Amino acid sequence: MRDNENGNNPRRAFIKNFAAGTAGLGLLGGFPSITIGEDRSRIDNLNKPFRFVHLTDMHVRRGRKGNIGYRQCIDHVNALDPKPDFVLMGGDGPFDGLYTEKDEFEDQIDLFATISDELDMPYYHCIGNHDCLGLSGRRKVPVDDPDLGKKFFMDGVGMQKPYYSFDSHGWHFVVLDCIYEVEVEHGQAVSAAWWGGNWLGFKPGYTVFTAEGDRLSWQRYTFPWDHHLEPEDDLEHERIAEREAFEEQQQILLDEELQGEPILR
Ligand SMILES: [Fe+2]
């Protein structure tokens, strides 16, 4: 808590100076220490390739059928073959707590938690800036609401600590909480749709990581999804149309290149 030099409400001062950083994930690993004569099965296990999924920025809500889209995403992950060992959440699971009414945010948290529980494998939470209640100048909760902050979301999904670490297959995973105070006015721009893990809001998807020895590789997966924008979502319609036109143009250039035709115009 900051000093209250100006006689302001110290909690208000704290909120004013708060800016939320994106949640982060640190990976340390790939070089497990093995002593000579150690149990062979442990060594085999450490060298065994494994896969995990990174889901992020789901921003689940009922609007734009985001809850249905997220369930489709979870079904897609559950159908992966080979099956991933676990799923890492990257934060911003529910749509938003920064400028959403508390009741609605609570519903979004519940949707996110309930659908996430349908995963067939273990999963690990990570806190994102939009997972915090009311830590924004655009908040829709009283500034002295006792649930202001990270704990409302953490309790809703059963998260014990905002940061932690765990081991898997000889790798050490560090889940970071990168939400901290900075001396700036809060002027953050955020997505206003169910983007499904894709900020461009075009093709929702996720990333599958494969760890093999000391090597980490990854691949993006998408799944079919028809956008269900609301009538007033002009900007989103525009962005999606722009993205479609861009991808179409890229495909034309690629086809020309593959046919040996000049691509410079
Ligand atoms: Fe996000």
Average pLDDT over every residue of 180-195:
48
Separation of CA 90 and ligand 1 centre (Å): 9
Whether 127 has a pLDDT exceeding 70, the answer reads: yes
pLDDT in tens, 227-254: 888 788 888 788 888 888 998 999 999 9
- What's the 133 CA to ligand 1 centre distance in angstroms? 14
Predicted confidence at residue 233, as pLDDT, reads 80
Expressed in angstroms and rounded, the spacing between residue 57 Cα and the centre of ligand 1 is 4
Q: Averaged over 66-74, what is the pLDDT?
A: 92
Structure tokens at 38: 């150690």
| Cβ–Cβ < 8 Å for 48, 169 | yes
**Going along 20-94, which residue ranges are E strands?**
24-28, 50-55, 86-89
Between 35-39, 174-178, 258-262, the lowest mean confidence (pLDDT) is in 35-39
Distance 143 CA to ligand 1 centre (A): 23
Residue 70 C-alpha to ligand 1 middle, in angstroms?
Answer: 14
Is the predicted pLDDT of residue 59 greater than 50, yes or no?
yes
180 CA to centre of ligand 1 in angstroms: 16
User: Tokens 């691509």 — which residue?
Assistant: 263
Share of the chain above pLDDT 90, in %: 50
- Torsion from C-alpha of 123, 125, 126, 129, nearest 10 degrees: 130
Whether residue 8 has pLDDT greater than 90: no
More confident residue, 244 or 84: 84
Under the banding of pLDDT at 50, 70 and 90, the label for residue 20 is very low
Interatomic CA distance for residues 163 and 152, integer angstroms: 15
> Ligand 1 centre and the CA of 9: distance in Å?
30
> Of 116, 114, 111, 89, nearest to 100 (Cα)?
111
**pTM, whole model, 2 decimals?**
0.75
Query: Which two three-digit tokens encode residue 226?
Result: 């028809």
Q: What is the mean pLDDT of the chain?
A: 79
C-beta atoms surrounding 106 within 10 Å: 18
**CA 71 to centroid of ligand 1, rounded, Å:** 18
User: Each residue of 102-122: pLDDT tens digit?
Assistant: 999 999 999 999 999 999 999
pLDDT digits (tens, 9 = 90+) for 139-157: 999 989 999 999 999 999 9
pLDDT for 261: 67
* Cα three-residue angle 78-79-84, rounded to 5 degrees: 60
More confident residue, 27 or 128: 128
Q: How many other β-carbons are positioned within 10 Å of the β-carbon of residue 184?
A: 10
Give the pLDDT confidence score for residue 44 in this predicted structure: 62
Cα–Cα distance list, 79 to 46, 48, 56 (Å):
25, 22, 18
Measured from the Cβ of residue 155, the count of other Cβ atoms closer than 10 Å reads 12
